[in-house]
Amino acid sequence: MNDSRIVFALDLPSLEGARAMALAVRDAVGMLKVGLELFVEAGPRAVALGEEARRPVFLDLKLHDIPETVERAVARASALGARMLTVHASGGPAMLRRAVERARKEGAGLEVVAVTVLTSLDAGDLGAIGVGGEVAAQVERLARMAWNEGVRAFVCSPHEAARLRAALGPDATLVTPGVRAAAAAGKDDQKRTMTAGEAVAAGASWVVVGRPIRDASDPLAAARAIAAEVEVARRGRA
């Protein structure tokens, strides 16, 4: 197992394509992310790609439902062998607490990861759904609430990583999507982005990378280049 801190997003529409890409880049990434598109297409078979590629799976389903439903889903994700599972922090204290407790009870090593504010949203978007103030303040508010319910891993944009690291300390695991190659920043639907090195320098534990690797002419070379950038940033932060 390598020590890469890249979570590679398997955002592909077919299991076959995801398998090919996972096997192609596994030597340069530390974890594989299975999101909604692939999970809806292939279900548990998508999670099984982690065992095939010998990489843990970050199951990014962003659960948000009543506590009982989420707790049962956590049990199933644990049985599938996922290493991390995302839930929306905005689901509230009871949902978060029961998710964490169920993951612990299952004893399979699944970690519940609370999603704070999606990287596609800005302050205007929050205002439209009735949340006032700046994005960073809402991210911290949700993270502190989740922390109090036992959550120790969080999804935030790179722009909030430093604030959450300062608020929660070294024991928090911070996963940052919205990571882009320097030349491609700002060219998609994510609004709060940084490069991988910038994200790690700001306090990220893991960086989620999809398109810069998936769409590269040589995905493995692209993954290795980003992994090297991350490692430099990690050494600089130490």
- pLDDT tens digits along 132-182: 999 999 999 999 999 999 999 999 999 999 999 999 999 999 999 978 765
- pLDDT tens digits along 6-22: 999 999 999 999 999 99
- pLDDT tens digits along 95-123: 999 999 999 999 999 999 999 999 999 99
For position 185, what pLDDT does the model report?
46
For position 178, what pLDDT does the model report?
79
Q: Of 7-11, 62-66, 194-198, which range is least confident?
A: 194-198
For position 238, what pLDDT does the model report?
66
With a cut of 70, say whether residue 184 has pLDDT above it.
no
For position 180, what pLDDT does the model report?
75
CATH class for the domain made up of 6-237: alpha beta
User: What DSSP letter does each residue of 198-233 carry, written as one string?
Assistant: HHHHHT-SEEEE-HHHHTSSSHHHHHHHHHHHHHHH
With a cut of 70, say whether residue 47 has pLDDT above it.
yes
Q: What whole-number distance in Å separates Cα of residue 206 and Cα of residue 221?
A: 19
For position 227, what pLDDT does the model report?
95
Domain boundaries in the chain?
6-237
Measured between alpha carbons, how far apart are the two ends of the chain, in Å? Answer: 22
- Catalytic, 62? Answer yes
For position 59, what pLDDT does the model report?
98
With a cut of 50, say whether residue 62 has pLDDT above it.
yes
Q: Spot the catalytic one: 33, 62, 187, 191.
A: 62
Instruction: Kindly report the pTM of this predicted structure.
Output: 0.93
Average pLDDT score, the chain: 94
- The number of beta carbons lying within 10 Å of the beta carbon of residue 127 is 11
Range 195-220 average pLDDT: 95
With a cut of 70, say whether residue 219 has pLDDT above it.
yes
For position 190, what pLDDT does the model report?
55
User: Phi and psi dihedrals of 145, rounded to 5?
Assistant: -60, -45
Q: What percent of the chain lies above the pLDDT cut of 70?
A: 94
Cα dist from 39 to 13, 34, 109, 204, 205, whole Å:
9, 6, 20, 26, 25
For position 236, what pLDDT does the model report?
86
* Burial class for 44, CB neighbours closer than 10 Å (0-12, 13-18, 19+): middle
